[in-house]
Amino acid sequence: MVGRVKEWLRESPDAEIISVTQNDWARWCECPDCKAIDDAEGSHSGTMVAFVNYIAEKIEPDFPNVAVDTFAYQYTRKPPTTIRPRKNVIVRLCSIECNFREPLDHPSNAAFMADIEGWSKICSRLYIWDYTTDFTGYVHPHPNWFTLGPNVRLFQKFGVKGVFEQGAYQGHGAEMGELRAWLLAQLLWNPAQDDKALIKEFLEGYYGKEAAEPIYGYLELMHEASKGVSLHCFLSTENRPYLNFSTLSKAERLWQKAEKGTRDESERLLRVRIGHLPVRCAFLRAWSRLRNECSEQKGKWPLAESRKAVAEQFHSVAEGVADKEWTQVRVMTEAGQTVDSFLKGFAEDPPETRK
């Protein structure tokens, strides 16, 4: 492994970091030697850090400016008891199990807090791998917007040297993806900034003054409605408490108001319509349930009566503009579900709504 690492570094002479880490699965070595280390250290990070320390020590004479990066991820997230990462080792702590509806220092994230505190005491180069989307529903409401600022400030508090924020990396059109990218860029530059003020600044600049107010209202609505929910980055996209008819009908009307406010500005109108897609996605996924809730509550249905028509509108917006790549929404999930495959199930109206 040392030989291979040196080979890779010689092939990339400008590299300053090389990643040597575990696979993305729950299978650690169970041989007697590794088990003995892990048992003594109280964590499977014992063998991982020992392994990476060895490589980092062996390459240091030839590559004194290179650091070896490794994960504290899932089964290695808890720091070891006695082994310490060398000065040329980066530990990248991953937050994948956390509740992203709340800041990472919330009681629901106590296990992560114990780990970041532990690693910060023993690692001089602590990095973070954080998650900002729902990988099972890129184009779907994911109300974590108001935790991004507190989390970046938390990382700064614990002396974190590097942050990687993983969002919907496979294509354009993820729910509020532009907002998250801009907001996080600002916060990573200066974590002391007021994140809610930054959100409002972005909404006004990107969507326009008339649309900014209802869209911010949408963010507040979904944030409040998701109170008490454990919001993970891999969720079933249906039957979440905040995806009820009362909340989604209000969300739909707020986005309709935002569209009306930008109807005379073609590019901003297009941005608003793309931002609107996640609410329409939630309606399409749970159409029959939401129709029943609307009837039970004697509510007013905020969309066309035809699910097929709503699906066709969704497709039209997702198609975007041929010469503007950012307007084209293609991928719905990390597993690769396309817009076309998602909409295939809505090619016909449910029996109860067919004329």
Check residue 352 and give its pLDDT: 66
Sign of CA dihedral 246, 249, 253, 258: positive
How do residues 268-290 score in pLDDT, each as one tens digit?
999 999 999 999 999 999 999 99
Mean pLDDT for the chain?
96
How large a percentage of the chain has pLDDT more than 90?
A: 95
Burial class (CB in 10 A: 0-12, 13-18, 19+), 328: middle
In the block, residue with structure tokens 């290179």: 66
**pLDDT band with cut points at 50, 70 and 90 for residue 240:** confident
pLDDT of residue 109: 98
Strand partners, 321: 324
Q: How confident is the model at residue 312 (pLDDT cuts 50, 70, 90)?
A: very high
Across 103-119, average pLDDT: 98
Average pLDDT over residues 304-325: 95
For 174-227, what is each residue's pLDDT tens digit?
A: 999 999 999 999 999 999 999 999 999 999 999 999 999 999 999 999 999 999
Is the pLDDT at 346 greater than 90? The verdict is: yes
Instruction: Give the confidence band of 238 by pLDDT, cuts at 50, 70, 90.
Output: low
In the chain, DSSP assigns E strands to: 17-19, 67-72, 89-94, 126-131, 162-166
How many of the other CB atoms lie within 10 Å of CB of 305?
11
pLDDT at 354 over 70: no
The span from the CA of 130 to the CA of 141, in Å, is 18
Give the mean model confidence (pLDDT) for residues 135-140.
Answer: 96
Contact 282, 269 (CB under 8 A): no
Residue 355's pLDDT is 44
Asked if pLDDT for residue 144 goes beyond 90, the answer is yes
pLDDT at 123: 98
Which pLDDT score is estimated for 31?
97
Long-range contacts of range 238-243, CB-CB < 8 Å, 24 or more positions apart?
A: 238/285, 238/286, 238/289, 239/286, 239/289, 242/141, 242/143, 243/141, 243/282, 243/286
Mean pLDDT of the 229-242 span: 85
End-to-end CA distance of the chain: 67
pLDDT of residue 224: 98
Q: What is the pLDDT of residue 351?
A: 82
pLDDT of residue 255: 98
In DSSP notation, 180-205 reads HHHHHHHHHH-TTS-HHHHHHHHHHH
pLDDT tens readout for residues 59-102: 999 999 999 999 999 999 999 999 999 999 999 999 999 999 99
How confident is residue 353, by pLDDT bands cut at 50, 70 and 90? low
Portion of the chain with pLDDT greater than 70, in percent: 98
The beta-carbon contacts of 109-115 under 8 Å, at least 24 apart in sequence, are: 112/77, 114/78, 115/72, 115/77, 115/78, 115/79
pLDDT of residue 39: 98
pLDDT digits (tens, 9 = 90+) for 37-58: 999 999 999 999 999 999 999 9
pLDDT of residue 94: 98
